[in-house]
Amino acid sequence: MYRRKLTALSYAAADTFSSSSQTEYRTLVLWLEDQKIRHYKIDDRKGLRDINAESWPQAFNDYLTELGCTVLQKSPEEILDWLIGFAVRLVFGDDAEQYRKYNSEFISNLRADQPRLVSSNPLDNLDFTAPEFKAGVENLADFLQVTKHPDHLVTLQAICKLVSRRLSSKAIQNPKSVVPEGQAFNYKDDSLGLLGTGDHKVDDAAKILRLLYINDLRELQTRINEAIVSVQAVTANPKTDTRLGKVGR
């Protein structure tokens, strides 16, 4: 979710960065301050520079407060997304004229000699980055009670999965076919064969991923079984035309 912004900022690890790693997370925060934001004087960055210190979260919170961060109460991913966006705005402001030329007219002229496909599908003409589109996705997520992701396109994927599985015409006609049966499984009290990391949040996330993987395997096995049954229906009772048989030369 950060790749395009980090690539625009020329961050060396843009393709491999993972916000789930504390070391990578804190290293990126320090790099943004050192290379792009430069809010503190060099000597005042000591609190951010010691990424292994227990006091780092407080130093980071103080830093965000000074920057005027508007998402302090949000998740670490949303906070980092805000900070990266803040750095992008500063870089843009340093040389706005250089970037302003890359407008829609510039892109149109660049593609003028290329063949253009005209689609009759109205979805192809949507601007998926428009504020109105993002607001629509968030409203739909609230209506369907889908947990929102910092990247609205990821939220939209979750909505699509919910609609295709739970709100299809087949599911509406037979709701019991898509409603899980049985008692709820308390994954927190089961190791699921995983070794603990010492961080209960990481452990819970790993357990959830394993359960989702098991669910995908079950769906795959069901489809394989259905395919086998279909093939057996064709091959189980072969019909033989004895008139075509030959004996001897």
Per-residue pLDDT of 32-49, as tens digits, reads 999 999 999 999 999 999
With respect to residue 21, please indicate whether it lies within any of the assigned structural domains: yes
With respect to residue 19, please indicate whether it lies within any of the assigned structural domains: yes
The model's pLDDT over 128-179, given as tens digits with 9 standing for 90+, comes to: 888 888 999 999 999 988 888 888 899 999 999 888 888 888 878 887 777 7
The answer to whether residue 112 scores a pLDDT higher than 80 is: no
Do 103 and 50 lie in one domain? The reply is yes
Do 62 and 153 lie in one domain? The reply is no
The model's pLDDT over 210-236, given as tens digits with 9 standing for 90+, comes to: 888 888 898 899 889 989 988 888 776
- H or E segment to which residue 15 belongs: none
- For the whole model, what pTM was predicted? 0.43
The answer to whether residue 190 scores a pLDDT higher than 80 is: no
With respect to residue 115, please indicate whether it lies within any of the assigned structural domains: no
Do 97 and 11 lie in one domain? The reply is yes
Number of domains in the chain: 3
The answer to whether residue 60 scores a pLDDT higher than 80 is: yes
Do 224 and 155 lie in one domain? The reply is no
**Inter-residue contact 30 to 46 (CB < 8 Å):** no
Domain of 156, in residue numbers: 130-176
pLDDT at residue 194, rounded to an integer: 76
pLDDT at residue 179, rounded to an integer: 73
Do 55 and 134 lie in one domain? The reply is no
Tell me how far apart the alpha carbons of residues 64 and 86 are, in angstroms, rounded to a whole number.
11
Query: Higher pLDDT residue, 245 or 39?
Result: 39
pLDDT at residue 61, rounded to an integer: 94
Do 32 and 96 lie in one domain? The reply is yes
| Backbone angles phi and psi of 241, in degrees to 5 | -100, 100
With respect to residue 191, please indicate whether it lies within any of the assigned structural domains: no
At residue 80 the predicted structure's pLDDT band, cuts being 50, 70 and 90, is very high
Percent of the chain residues topping a pLDDT of 90: 33
The answer to whether residue 62 scores a pLDDT higher than 70 is: yes
With respect to residue 205, please indicate whether it lies within any of the assigned structural domains: yes
**Inter-residue contact 42 to 57 (CB < 8 Å):** no
pLDDT at residue 102, rounded to an integer: 62
Do 155 and 105 lie in one domain? The reply is no
Tell me how far apart the alpha carbons of residues 6 and 91 are, in angstroms, rounded to a whole number.
12
The model's pLDDT over 191-213, given as tens digits with 9 standing for 90+, comes to: 777 777 778 788 888 888 888 88
With respect to residue 236, please indicate whether it lies within any of the assigned structural domains: no
pLDDT at residue 79, rounded to an integer: 94
Do 67 and 139 lie in one domain? The reply is no
With respect to residue 43, please indicate whether it lies within any of the assigned structural domains: yes
Summarize the confidence of residues 60-81 as an average pLDDT. Answer: 93
Do 16 and 97 lie in one domain? The reply is yes
With respect to residue 245, please indicate whether it lies within any of the assigned structural domains: no
Tell me how far apart the alpha carbons of residues 84 and 36 are, in angstroms, rounded to a whole number.
10
Do 91 and 138 lie in one domain? The reply is no
The answer to whether residue 239 scores a pLDDT higher than 80 is: no
Give me Rg for the CA atoms of the chain. Answer: 27
